[in-house]
Structure 1
Amino acid sequence: MAHPDVVVVGAGVIGAACAEALTARGVSVLVLDRGAPASGTTASGEGNVLVSDKEPGPELVLAQASRRRWPTLLAELREELGPVAEVEWEPKGGLVVATTSVAAQPLADFAAAQRGAGVDARAITASDAAHLEPHLTKEIAAAVHYPEDAQLQPVLATTTLLAAVRKRGSEVRGAVEAVGIERHGGSVKALRTRHSTIPCSAVINACGPWSGTFSRAAGAPIDIQPRRGVVLVTAPLPTNTVRHKVYDADYVGAVASGEADLQTSAVVESTQAGTVLIGSSRQRVGFDDSMRVDVLRELARKAVRLFPILADAQIMRSYGGFRPYAPDHLPIIGEDHRLPGLWHATGHEGAGIGLAAATGQLLAELFTGQAPHVDPEPFRVDRRP
């Protein structure tokens, strides 16, 4: 292709969603990744498309918009691409349970606040919860059913988005490391890689947990830090062992916390392959990717408390990854006022899969001068803490 209008740095789900939305509007794009596409944070995700874990505010608004957008976007991609656009979309719903009386009232209050913001959050009885999940623990003090929660396969979703980008005449390249930006008159002139310079009018920083590093190399630093997470994967279990995405009520607190120390919460869900994914952990340890046995044991212990049947399940493997953490827990989406032509789409932490559809749409709307479908102000790089 000739010189692209935009270079997207990062071929994970956020970069892919931005590239898809831009090419849908006629913008030529080159997507680069220092590794293989969808091999970083995206490959270590669970595929969550959630509204249940977000308190009323800008991130919930973005999550609601993305939950509406994903089914429509996937239908459009299936029409355009055919069978290759299979991403294992499952609108299975979520179930949040409090297993202690102390956690019951905070869960009820949280769900009530969400209902005020338009979330379908249904308080249910312990017997209702048992009907939804027959293998769930009997120690249920409170439960909330979230029919809007969904799941998809993150690598398939990303490669599908990138397939559309390629079909429209744009390009995706792996094994290309971006190292900086060249300027002309104070604006972006080109992207510098390890081995070449690529002229362009704009660069999108979609580097996930490495976004802070790239932003510093570009001369417009943002505070994005890696936050480590680990997932256990069981061997395939009988169908409907776990029917929904199920998690303990303390998961919401772990998501919202800014603590660097290890935090774990029981999060359990099945996949179409029959395996069960067990999370979740959060810990700021830089880019230390060592797998700690004590973390794995803690995840397993909490999962068995939620689903006693898992005590006999075999663990097939474990995997971990780094999520892009922003101190105020909001993604950065939009142009950098310090360097015209540099755009950011990062800081989604563990919600990138769910927020990707709306993030790509919002960035493309701002880039092309269209009216944004959600208020972009809370996501500006120069927002106030």
Structure 2
Amino acid sequence: MQQDFLIIGGGVVGMAVAYGLLRAGCRVTVLDGSDDSLRASRGNAGLTWVQGKGAGMPAYAELSFEASLAWPDFAAELEERTGLDLEYEHRGGVDLCFNQEEAEARQREYSAIQSTSPYLARQFRWQYLDRTSLASYLPGLGEGVHGGTWSPHDGHCNPLYLLRALFSANLGLGLDYRPGCEVHLLTPLMNGFRAATTHGTYEAERLILAAGLGSAALAPMLGLSGAVRPVRGQVLVTERLQKIAQLPTPQIRQTASGAYLIGDIQEEVGFDRGVTLPIMQQLADRAVRIFPFLAHARLVRSWGALRVMTPDGHPLYEASRQYPGAYGLSSHSGISLAAFHAGRLAESILQDSLNHEYAKFSGARFSRSALNP
């Protein structure tokens, strides 16, 4: 019996959409790469975030906000299905500013997003707080921090546990999971699509390309744009320390185990996933500026990972007009948008209404921007 969907890519984006389709009763095969594939899902900080999303594209900010509203039920459902604790917390978050200029620019940006979206003007809550006012949210905050924007809509989770829970839930719903199947050719057929891999060929009526950075090479085969590039991030991890009731920030957050994740770096270095001493020093210095008590904490691990970044930094959702039934999905906010990907986005794909409902996220915007710089 032919599968309803082939999904290329077993990261958080692909597995979240698979979860939504499987819940709807679809037959789904996921073709995943090898263990050494470029995997953004294993290298991120685990934020479920609204702040800062959508500058220049209010629709993205609205999606992020709606995803944050859906996350509590999404997490509870996954935990009930699998018995796995996602370490999800939704108590708000703070995005730090280190000087007056940065603080003023941040406030202008958030006000501009709200001014172009009546929905967010009504719903999105945020406030700029000086360092003293942040003390109750971030005990131990250093004098070198100017302040930050606080919002009740932000949160965080363990991204590895999220991915594990999606795998477990999907397998329980009948997912046909094929690891180690690097796809090198996608072919439209009369009644579906064929994927040629390192371990044979697979066919289905419809196909979803959620291959992260691999989409750049595969998307043109289906008449999709696949406009993505790698942007490196580096992360430092401290030893486990006593838990403190602190809100997460993009710059640093304490995990459920007590370790601190230190990051928020973006580097244009191609496909280099390495870590570098200057960046590690920069991250360590900033961490101590934020929380001086970390000066004596031991660092136990570091890693580099590659974000899946579109030209404007916003998600890419599109259905092929040349080959109906093929879809391309790319986003560097796979954790934040996971509830949306498993919910409304999966429903839109199932109903084949992606281009109608999410036209603003199509790759066509990149060709338009090229014509109108």
Work out whether the TM-score is over 0.5: yes
Cα RMSD over matched residues?
Answer: 2.4
Aligned-residue offset at 1:98: 2.4
Q: Sort the Cα spacing of 1:175 and 1:354 in 2 relative to 1 into closer, same or farther, 3 A.
A: same
Aligned-residue offset at 1:146: 1.4
User: Does residue 366 of structure 1 match 2:369?
Assistant: no
Question: Corresponding residue for 1:96?
Answer: 95
Aligned-residue offset at 1:144: 2.2
Question: Corresponding residue for 2:276?
Answer: 292
1:99 touches 1:142 (CA, 8 Å); kept in 2?
Answer: yes
Distance 2:334 2:37 in 1: 12
Deviations 1:177-217 (A, max 9, x none): 111122224x7432211231112111111111222122245
Question: Corresponding residue for 1:49?
Answer: 48
User: Does residue 376 of structure 1 match 2:351?
Assistant: no
Q: Sort the Cα spacing of 1:357 and 1:39 in 2 relative to 1 into closer, same or farther, 3 A.
A: farther
> Taking structure 2 as the reference length, what is the TM-score of the superposition?
0.88
Q: Sort the Cα spacing of 1:91 and 1:355 in 2 relative to 1 into closer, same or farther, 3 A.
A: same
Question: Corresponding residue for 1:70?
Answer: 71
Q: Sort the Cα spacing of 1:382 and 1:101 in 2 relative to 1 into closer, same or farther, 3 A.
A: closer
Question: Corresponding residue for 2:179?
Answer: 174
Aligned-residue offset at 1:115: 5.5
Q: Sort the Cα spacing of 1:368 and 1:219 in 2 relative to 1 into closer, same or farther, 3 A.
A: closer
Aligned-residue offset at 1:221: 4.4
2:317 touches 2:361 (CA, 8 Å); kept in 1?
Answer: yes
Q: Sort the Cα spacing of 1:103 and 1:83 in 2 relative to 1 into closer, same or farther, 3 A.
A: same
Q: In percent, how many aligned pairs have the same letter?
A: 27
Match for 2:247: what amino acid?
H
2:2 touches 2:205 (CA, 8 Å); kept in 1?
Answer: no
User: Aligned pairs, how many?
Assistant: 358
Q: Which moved more, 1:205-214 or 1:229-238?
A: 205-214
Aligned-residue offset at 1:54: 1.7
User: Does residue 313 of structure 1 match 2:297?
Assistant: yes
Q: Which moved more, 1:25-34 or 1:127-136?
A: 127-136
2:325 touches 2:352 (CA, 8 Å); kept in 1?
Answer: no
Question: Corresponding residue for 2:329?
Answer: 345
Aligned-residue offset at 1:298: 1.2
Q: Which of 223, 241, 244 does residue 227 from structure 2 map onto?
A: 223
Distance 1:140 1:77 in 2: 37
Match for 2:285: what amino acid?
R
Task: State the SS of the aligned residue for 1:298.
Answer: helix
Distance 1:246 1:303 in 2: 11
Distance 1:18 1:96 in 2: 29
Distance 2:49 2:282 in 1: 24
2:218 touches 2:226 (CA, 8 Å); kept in 1?
Answer: no
Aligned-residue offset at 1:90: 1.2
Distance 1:170 1:161 in 2: 11
1:89 touches 1:153 (CA, 8 Å); kept in 2?
Answer: yes
- Unaligned 5+ segments in structure 1 are 248-266
Q: Which of 211, 214, 217 does residue 215 from structure 2 map onto?
A: 211
Task: State the SS of the aligned residue for 2:62.
Answer: helix
Question: Corresponding residue for 1:83?
Answer: 83
Question: Corresponding residue for 2:9?
Answer: 10
1:233 touches 1:275 (CA, 8 Å); kept in 2?
Answer: yes
Aligned-residue offset at 1:50: 0.4
Aligned 1:260-275 pairs, distance under 5 A: 267-275=251-259
> Taking structure 1 as the reference length, what is the TM-score of the superposition?
0.86
Distance 1:246 1:161 in 2: 25
1:137 touches 1:306 (CA, 8 Å); kept in 2?
Answer: yes
Aligned-residue offset at 1:114: 5.2
1:3 touches 1:199 (CA, 8 Å); kept in 2?
Answer: yes
Aligned-residue offset at 1:140: 4.2
- Unaligned 5+ segments in structure 2 are none
Match for 1:230: what amino acid?
Q
Distance 1:39 1:129 in 2: 37
User: Does residue 151 of structure 1 match 2:156?
Assistant: yes
